[in-house]
């Protein structure tokens, strides 16, 4: 990015994934980011750690910084030779005062670039199942401010032309002036029976939509306690919502799900839950760390040729083992001639990423499944290496030893409580704002229960979902009511079990 330049970047309508590729490039390369209200923290997290962050958000009643001051700030920061991103919701040139900022920059001779964004005027109705144009229903579209400059006095909107001249009308920032907007439209000829939709928190997991007509939408909004940020859509296209709605019909929509997995591993589970409509709160109960003493693992690596099998029971074990292998200037060839067992497909995929193919996966992705499978694999008298988490349960070792194998279990990594992350998420739990709590290992259960102290029973107010029987057993031992235990002990299996469990509970509520 060029220094001494301002990038007017549209952040999109809310969901950070709707930012453009160019917009994300600018955010990642900026020296300074000057951002508005409602910009998602996940988008800001893409900035460089050393980037200067300046909040200039506005509400209808409170401005952190006046527009004239924002203009001066842009000029000053660019004048210091910095690459400045002015990050604005939606599109910078659609009712976002980006044009005024560009004018100021042009007048001052400051280089600038406009990076268009996905406007809420189109995206938010789309997420509510409302196309703003549709053949046979609407061939024209008007985007109108719902919040005019209060210093102008009389409205600058040609209400007679707006009311009768366009099929679909989209008002941004208009909920607080809803009565005035409706009054003007009806007064200037729009039929009171015209369909209207109000969409709150569009494109996000808390999106909410109410539908009515010009005659009754104000009363419906009052009854629903509707508040900004929201988009108003007026026109016959609103009638398509029952058929075309897709975003808020996903199985976990409106549910807050707590992910307690280690931060380094949480993303896959979080994304799969979000794809099903959940609002995900990541509160890792554990962190993955190296063991403090590598001597046991190093001894095992130096004598790898003496083992018939190496069994990996987690992705963490694969990464820790391979990391130590590389530390000794070795690679996958060191495992040549040794058979490899992976407890499940995720672990097998981690091995494959390092150039290794698992020779065998058990039918059931548990320690018991491994033991049962080895009954037919003649391991009596053979040596088995088991690189695992420090302080691992002994059931697998005992089961394999009972089959006559000489099992060497070595610590490859350890888990520790994620104290800082737990303290941040504790309030959300205790406020009763979590619908589902997920556990992917026994250590996540123990650490979360321990972190909550005397408040641990509050967990039972939410649905408890565990990845498998071992984790579920730990939760039960600690007094938790396990509602869901995945039959397939994988992340996809856990998500599928949550969706299935929720469907059954809703069906019971309907017919019970």
List 122, 173, 283, 322, catalytic entry: 173
Are the beta carbons of 338 and 307 closer than 8 angstroms? yes
173 is catalytic: yes
Give the CATH number for residue 150: 3.30.950.10
Q: Which residue has the tokens 């089961």?
A: 399
Asked whether residue 156 falls in the same domain as residue 244, the answer is yes
This prediction's pTM: 0.80
Structure tokens at 337: 């001639």
Angle, alpha carbons 197-94-229 (nearest 5°): 40
Give the CATH number for residue 297: 3.40.50.10090
Give the CATH number for residue 64: 3.40.1010.10
Asked whether residue 104 falls in the same domain as residue 162, the answer is no
| CA distances (Å), origin 327, targets 294, 324, 353, 386 | 11, 5, 17, 19
Asked whether residue 156 falls in the same domain as residue 237, the answer is yes
Q: What is the pLDDT of residue 392?
A: 87
List 36, 40, 91, 483, catalytic entry: 36
Sequence-distant (≥ 6) Cβ neighbours of residue 464 within 8 angstroms: 436, 437, 439, 475, 480, 481, 482, 483, 484
Q: What is the pLDDT of residue 509?
A: 46
Burial class (CB in 10 A: 0-12, 13-18, 19+), 504: exposed
Residue where a domain terminates, one of 248, 265, 297: 248
Asked whether residue 373 falls in the same domain as residue 319, the answer is yes
Asked whether residue 316 falls in the same domain as residue 399, the answer is yes
**Bridge partner list, 90:** 12
Q: What is the pLDDT of residue 2?
A: 83
List 1, 5, 58, 65, catalytic entry: 58
Asked whether residue 306 falls in the same domain as residue 398, the answer is yes
3-state secondary structure of 475: helix
Backbone angles phi, psi at 286, to 5 degrees: -135, 160
Backbone angles phi, psi at 485, to 5 degrees: -130, 120
Asked whether residue 168 falls in the same domain as residue 102, the answer is no
Closest CA to 350 of 261, 262, 414, 265: 265
Q: What is the pLDDT of residue 424?
A: 63
Q: Is 262 left (phi over 0), alpha (psi -120 to 50) or beta?
A: beta
Alpha-helix runs per DSSP H in 188-229: 217-223
Asked whether residue 148 falls in the same domain as residue 231, the answer is yes
Domains held by the chain: number: 4
Print the domain residue range for 155: 122-248
Asked whether residue 361 falls in the same domain as residue 441, the answer is no
3-state secondary structure of 344: coil
Q: What is the pLDDT of residue 378?
A: 84
Print pLDDT tens along the chain (512 aa).
Answer: 888 999 999 999 999 999 999 999 999 999 999 999 889 999 999 999 999 999 998 766 666 789 999 999 999 999 999 999 999 999 999 998 999 999 999 999 999 999 999 999 999 999 999 999 999 899 999 999 987 754 555 678 999 999 999 999 999 999 999 999 999 999 999 999 999 999 999 999 999 999 999 999 999 999 999 998 899 999 999 999 999 999 999 999 999 999 988 766 668 899 999 999 999 988 887 788 999 999 999 999 999 999 999 999 999 999 999 999 999 999 999 999 999 999 999 999 999 999 999 999 998 888 999 999 999 888 999 999 999 999 888 999 999 999 999 999 999 999 887 766 666 677 888 889 999 999 998 988 998 998 888 999 999 999 999 999 989 999 999 999 999 999 998 999 999 999 999 877 665 544 34
Asked whether residue 244 falls in the same domain as residue 136, the answer is yes
Closest CA to 328 of 292, 291, 294, 290: 294
Q: What is the pLDDT of residue 283?
A: 84
Asked whether residue 44 falls in the same domain as residue 142, the answer is no
Asked whether residue 277 falls in the same domain as residue 426, the answer is yes
Strand-pair category, 195-200 with 230-234:
antiparallel
36 is catalytic: yes
Q: What is the pLDDT of residue 303?
A: 95
**Bridge partner list, 288:** 415
Residue where a domain terminates, one of 416, 433, 463: 416
Residue where a domain terminates, one of 118, 134, 166: 118
């Amino acid at each position: 990015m060029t220094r001494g330049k301002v990038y007017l970047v549209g952040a999109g309508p809310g969901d950070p994934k709707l930012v453009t590729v160019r917009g994300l490039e600018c955010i990642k390369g900026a020296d300074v980011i000057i951002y508005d209200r409602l910009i998602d923290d996940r988008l800001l997290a893409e900035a460089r750690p050393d980037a200067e962050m300046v909040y200039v958000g506005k509400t209808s009643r409170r401005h952190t910084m006046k527009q004239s001051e924002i203009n001066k700030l842009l000029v000053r920061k660019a004048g210091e030779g910095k690459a400045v991103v002015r990050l604005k919701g939606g599109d910078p040139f659609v009712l976002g005062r980006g044009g005024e900022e560009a004018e100021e920059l042009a007048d001052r001779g400051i280089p600038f670039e406009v990076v268009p964004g996905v406007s809420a005027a189109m995206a938010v109705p789309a997420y509510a199942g409302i196309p703003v144009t549709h053949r046979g229903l609407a061939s024209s579209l008007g985007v109108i401010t719902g919040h005019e400059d209060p210093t102008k006095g009389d409205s600058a909107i040609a209400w007679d032309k707006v009311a009768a001249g366009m099929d679909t009308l989209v008002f941004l920032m208009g909920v607080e002036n809803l009565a005035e907007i409706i009054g003007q439209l009806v007064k200037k000829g729009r039929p009171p029976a015209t369909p209207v939709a109000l969409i709150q928190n569009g494109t996000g997991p808390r999106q909410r939509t109410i539908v009515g007509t010009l005659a009754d939408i104000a009363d419906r909004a009052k009854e629903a306690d509707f508040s900004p940020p929201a988009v108003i859509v007026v026109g016959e296209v609103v009638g398509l919502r029952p058929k075309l709605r897709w975003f808020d019909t996903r199985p976990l929509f409106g549910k807050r799900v707590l992910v307690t997995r280690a931060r380094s591993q949480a993303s896959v589970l979080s994304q799969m839950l979000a794809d099903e409509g959940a609002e995900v709160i990541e509160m890792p109960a554990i962190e993955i760390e190296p063991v403090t003493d590598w001597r046991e693992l190093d001894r095992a690596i130096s004598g790898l040729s003496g083992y018939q099998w190496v069994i990996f029971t987690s992705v963490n074990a694969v990464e820790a083992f391979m990391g130590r292998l590389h530390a000794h200037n070795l690679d996958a060839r060191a495992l040549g001639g040794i058979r490899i067992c992976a407890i499940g497909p995720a672990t097998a995929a981690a091995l494959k990423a390092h150039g290794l193919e698992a020779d065998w996966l058990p039918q059931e992705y548990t320690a018991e499944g491994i033991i049962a499978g080895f009954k037919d694999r003649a391991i009596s008298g053979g040596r088995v290496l088991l690189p695992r988490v420090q302080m691992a349960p002994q059931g697998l070792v005992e089961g394999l030893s009972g089959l006559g194998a000489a099992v060497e279990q070595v610590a490859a990594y350890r888990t520790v409580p994620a104290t800082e992350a737990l303290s941040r998420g504790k309030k959300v739990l205790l406020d009763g704002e979590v619908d589902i709590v997920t556990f992917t290992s026994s250590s996540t259960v123990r650490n979360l229960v321990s972190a909550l102290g005397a408040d641990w029973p509050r967990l039972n107010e939410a649905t408890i979902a565990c990845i498998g029987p071992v984790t579920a057993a730990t939760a039960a031992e600690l007094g938790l009511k396990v509602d869901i235990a995945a039959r397939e002990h994988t992340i996809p299996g856990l998500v599928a079990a949550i969706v299935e469990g929720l469907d059954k509970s809703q069906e019971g509520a309907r017919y019970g």
